[in-house]
Structure 1
Amino acid sequence: MRVFTVAGVVAVVLAFSSVGAEPPKPPVPQKEHEWLKQLEGQWEVESEGVTEPGKPPVKCRGTDAARSLGGLWLVSEMKATVADVPVTGVMTLGYDAQKKKVVGTWVCSMCDVLYKYEGALEGQTLTLETEGPNPSTGKLVKMRDVIELKDKDTKVLTSSMLGEDGKWVPFMTMTGKRKK
């Protein structure tokens, strides 16, 4: 795969060189990209989620390894074990200067849905919205992930879905502590 990527970059450079044009300049990281840099690193995470109303929450522990991709994207790989089942999830986050929104994706080994995020940053809180199936009914609902930086070594992600009454219902909270 790396060979194809390098070959693609070389082909673009050669194409611009042969016509005398300058290759396009890469995007310049914005303040939103700088905020995302705070999420980089190795984290220990604990989460608690509600699977069904009235049942005890499911708890798990795991890791989150987050790295920058060219200063424009954050790629975060989370690993945990939920009810004796290993789970891996990958989140991508970046800032789309044309849309003026934080954008990203979420995929995990427990579902076949690609969640596409759009959101905004306010202070130390990033609010991301998407759509996905309600785990209980399968019906498509609006969902929200809120990532809050409590300090440089603590982050909290809260996942909610929009209820039929128009109120956001939290169903999962994950707390991350930076590994020292």
Structure 2
Amino acid sequence: MEAQTEREPVREDVWLRRLAGEWSVESPAPDGEGTIKGRETGRLFGNWVVLEGASQMPDASVHSSLMTLGYDPARGKVVGSWVGSMMSHLWVYEGGLDAAGDTLTLATHGPVMDGSGGTADYEDIITFEGEDTRLLTSRQRQPDGTWRDLFCVRYSREG
């Protein structure tokens, strides 16, 4: 098997590299009572970024997650995946940056969270607010075609 050499970075690679580092994580609990707090470590893996997180829930349980993101020049898209210890679904991403280069929108498809067994389209939207703060907003497409925000997580760079 022939080793592949790293390619010249493009705009998406530069943007994704901003995710590397140590981050504090905070968001309201899904039920609106309490706050979820945690940490995330982003590290570079060639042209990929790997984000590993752990958060303590209001019930004192700890949830872990792993996200991978990279730019696929053949598809012209940012691609990736997300898994969390609290569910069995592998979320597969495909998306891109907005024209301003501040926001990455990742489309995915997965189970509806109401226990009905149905599926829906989702978007995870990552927006930088300067270099040391970013937001992740997750939303779900509703049957009428509109989007409903599910949650928003704030990340603050440590150190």
- TM-score by length of structure 2 reads 0.91
- The structural deviation recorded for 1:131 is 0.4
State whether structure 2 residue 108 is matched by structure 1 residue 130: yes
CA RMSD of aligned residues (A): 1.6
Q: CA deviation at 1:92?
A: 0.3
Assess, with a 3 A threshold, how the Cα gap between structure 1 residues 49 and 138 changes in structure 2: closer, same or farther: farther
SS at match of 2:56: strand
Q: Tell me how far 1:29 sits from its aligned partner.
A: 2.4
Structure 2: unaligned runs, 5 residues or longer: none
Please state how far the C-alpha of 1:49 moved relative to its aligned partner.
4.8
Question: Which of the residues 74, 81, 86 maps onto 2:49?
Answer: 74
Q: Is the 8 A contact 1:49 1:173 kept in 2?
A: no
Aligned to 1:87: 63
The 5 A counterparts of 1:159-174 are 159-174=138-153
Task: State the Cα distance separating 1:111 from its structure 2 match.
Answer: 0.5
User: Following superposition, which runs of at least 4 residues in structure 1 exceed 4 angstroms of deviation?
Assistant: none
Equivalents in 2 of 1:133, 1:127: separation in Å? 19
Consecutive unaligned residues in structure 1, runs of 5 or more: 1-11, 14-22
1:45 paired to 2:20 = no
Structure holding more helix per residue: 1
For 1:99-142, what per-residue CA distance to the aligned partner results, in whole angstroms no more than 9, with x for missing partners?
00000000010000100000011121000000011111331100
Shift of 1:165: 1.5
1:39 match: secondary structure: coil
Return the match for 1:118 from 84, 88, 94.
94
